[in-house]
Amino acid sequence: MSEKIKISIIVGTRPNLIKVSPLVRKIKEDESIDMQFINTGQHYDYELDEIFIKELNIPKPVFLNVGSGTQGKQTGEALIKIEKELIEFKPDVSVVIGDTNSTLAGALASTKLHIPVAHIEAGLRSFDRKMPEEINRIVVDHISDILFVPTENAVKNLKNEGIGDEKIFFVHDISVDACLQNYEIAKKSEILKKMNINNNFVLVTLHRQENVDNKENLCNILDALLEISKGKGVVFPIHPRTLKNLKAFGIFEKYSENLRFIKPLGYFDFLKLIGSSSCIVTDSGGVQKEALILKTPCVTARTTTEWTETTDMNANVLVGTDKEKIIEEVSRRSSKEFHEFMEKTENPYGDGKTSERILRNIKNMALLKKYR
């Protein structure tokens, strides 16, 4: 039997890579661990994948080339390919993160091979079962053995679903580690100069299927942004799903004259833009939190959020796809007074040491499994 602890880390998308990076770097430095790092390839464009491996200084994962497809095809292919890797490596524990189809496939493949599963970012709920992410979260939480939970609300959600205390570890949120560690580097980014912009701009990201696969919803949000662009710049690093739909709906040209569509950015440039913008419009989970951490007001084009602390504190507001509300909230939140309010907010998501707490617990779990 190998003396080292064997840990498989399974990711597949941009946010998975970003969030897992502080943990992966720590594991790499730990000589008692043999790590298998698997990337399903759910995201495969350079701007959604490799750029983060380079910037975040993490080892190149085994790339499974799963690619895009329907929910079933993508999850199924990832399941088959992950299973093969796990059978070869025989880890003592698998680690999955977040709520993507790759997270679900990784957890399912592992548990069926009787490999204990650790789920990072467990317990979040939007209570909207139309979202594929909500289904993924519920299933992964219920088949995992150790749940690393980011917030007290998430602890409550798990307890309400009957999950035992012994599985729940309240460690705060690992994305704070990633954000704080990288913002120091991001501050030096030249992106503002390169784009020739000052701070008077709104930063936008949109990719949720309920917003961007539906022409009416997408146009409502973009019409609001067009209106906003009369007074300030609108910078929109555009997710490939959204770009594809803008073209398919035949509306790319209508908006591209006044909204500044650019390719998705690397993490450093993107964090610099979050920290410099006057307001953010997004439907991203991660961006809502990063906005709060970097004290930038946020307007969220959704009707629910898993990150309810951001809205409870009024650092963030849910506006759905309501054009007038988007315009009104962006205007209100871009004001000097609102920025002064944001300066006084405190980040409720942790101290940036979540990855240390997670690693300690994963090692204990792996040792238990190994010498059981």
Annotated catalytic residues are 207
Question: Per-residue x/- marks for ligand UDP, 236-255, CB under 6 A?
Answer: -x------------------
Q: Which of 133, 141, 173, 290 binds ligand UD1 (CB under 6 A)?
A: 133
Give the span between the Cα atoms of 306 and 131, in whole angstroms.
12
Q: How many CA atoms lie within 13 A of 214 on its CB side?
A: 9
DSSP symbol at 141: H
Residue 304 has which token pair?
A: 């629910």
Q: Which of 7, 10, 12, 15 binds ligand UDP (CB under 6 A)?
A: 15
Q: Is 287 in the site for ligand UDP (CB under 6 A)?
A: yes
> Among ligand UD1, ligand UDP, none, what binds residue 241 when CB lies within 5 to 8 Å by partner kind?
ligand UD1
Task: Closer to ligand UDP by CB, 6 or 207: give it.
Answer: 207
Contacts of 72 (CB under 8 A, 6+ apart): none
Q: Is 353 in the site for ligand UD1 (CB under 6 A)?
A: no
CA 316 to chain centre: 17
Q: Is 327 in the site for ligand UDP (CB under 6 A)?
A: no
> Among ligand UDP, ligand UD1, none, what binds residue 68 when CB lies within 5 to 8 Å by partner kind?
ligand UD1
Other beta carbons within 10 angstroms of residue 251's beta carbon come to 15
> Among ligand UD1, ligand UDP, none, what binds residue 45 when CB lies within 5 to 8 Å by partner kind?
ligand UD1
Q: What is the C-alpha R_g of the chain? A: 20
Part of the chain binding ligand UD1 (CB under 6 A), chosen from 10-18, 185-193, 224-232, 359-367: 10-18
CA-nearest of 109, 89, 93, 90 to 101 is: 109
Considering CB under 6 A, how many residues would be counted as binding ligand UD1? 19
Strands (DSSP E) along 161-286, which ranges?
168-170, 201-205, 233-237, 260-262, 279-282
Task: Closer to ligand UDP by CB, 14 or 119: give it.
Answer: 14
Q: Is 341 in the site for ligand UD1 (CB under 6 A)?
A: no
Give, in order, the Cα–Cα distances in Å from 206 to each of 67, 219, 264.
20, 12, 11
Other beta carbons within 10 angstroms of residue 257's beta carbon come to 9
Residue 313 CB burial class (10 angstroms; 0-12, 13-18, ≥19): middle
Q: Is 270 in the site for ligand UDP (CB under 6 A)?
A: yes
> Among ligand UDP, ligand UD1, none, what binds residue 222 when CB lies within 5 to 8 Å by partner kind?
none
Give the number of residues written for the chain: 372
Question: Per-residue x/- marks for ligand UDP, 45-64, CB under 6 A?
Answer: --------------------
Q: Is 126 in the site for ligand UD1 (CB under 6 A)?
A: no
> Among ligand UD1, ligand UDP, none, what binds residue 160 when CB lies within 5 to 8 Å by partner kind?
none
Q: Largest Cα–Cα distance of the chain, in whole Å?
A: 66
Residue 322 has which token pair?
A: 């309501």
Task: Closer to ligand UD1 by CB, 14 or 81: give it.
Answer: 14
Amino acid identity for residue 35 in this structure: M
- Interface with ligand UDP by CB under 6 A: which residues? 14-15, 18, 205, 207, 237, 264-265, 267, 270, 284-287, 290
- Interface with ligand UD1 by CB under 6 A: which residues? 13-15, 42-45, 48, 68, 74, 99-101, 132-133, 207, 240-241, 244
